[in-house]
Amino acid sequence: MTFFDNARCAPISSPYGSSTRYDGSSRRTGGGPDATHGGIDLTLAEGTPLLAIAAGTVFATGEGGQMEGNFVWLLHLPDRSGLPFAFLAKYQHLAAPAPLRRGAVVALGQEIARSGSTGTVGGHYGSAGYAHLHLTVRSIAADKIALAVGPESGFSIVRDSIQIDPLTVYVPGLRSPGEAADLPAERKQVVVAYVGAGSVVRPASARAVWPVACP
Ligand SMILES: [Zn+2]
């Protein structure tokens, strides 16, 4: 992957599906024989603003424990995001609980929280923890969207959604996330849009951006 205009954005320090952490240690230690990474990690200074990767609404916020930390889930439905499929995005290890209400509308690239190390202290990463963003994306099939909207909806939609590589969101021209697995290599060369100086989305036509601003 590269960034639009070859911008130098915060890179992925541990990709989706990886069996190792950012420091090269094995996720299988204590994680079971098939432990692989369920999202992407970005190593970030404590307090880095985190941005909504697409337009959507707040689905849930909370304070998880060890491994999870403070988190926010955003819901991205096609009618709001302009993207071809529905998905949930979960941002973890936030410095503080996200000051957002369920159902609040978030714009593409809007700051939703600050990065931190909650949920990482005392485990593998030691007493200092590891300040980073863990971003998980789960796609929602069209016939399950009703489970995700409305006042009665709850975390059943998480069980009924499918974990995917978050980079799938940036692949142009997909009709469904499943198509990404069958793409020829050249179409997997993702060029990721971002929010640059002055909070400008680059390119302006982008419907999905990197979760942190780029210089
Ligand atoms: Zn992670």
Question: Domain map of the chain by residue range?
Answer: 12-169
Residues of the chain with confidence (pLDDT) below 70: 29-34, 150-153
Instruction: Give residue 32 CA to ligand 1 midpoint distance, Å.
Output: 16
Q: For ligand 1, an ion, list residues with CB under 5 A.
A: 41, 134
pTM: 0.93
Alpha carbon 130 to chain centroid, angstroms? 17
Residue spans of alpha helices (H) in the chain: 78-81, 145-148, 156-159
Cα 133 to ligand 1 centroid, rounded to whole Å: 7
CA distance 93 to 71: 6
Which CATH superfamily groups domain 12-169? Glucose Permease (Domain IIA) (2.70.70.10)
Say what the pLDDT of residue 33 is. Answer: 64
pLDDT tens track for 155-184: 788 888 999 999 999 998 888 888 887 777
According to the model, what pLDDT value does residue 32 have? 65
Dump pLDDT digits (tens) for 70-83.
999 999 999 999 99
State residue 98's pLDDT score: 86
CA of 21 to the centre of ligand 1 (A): 8
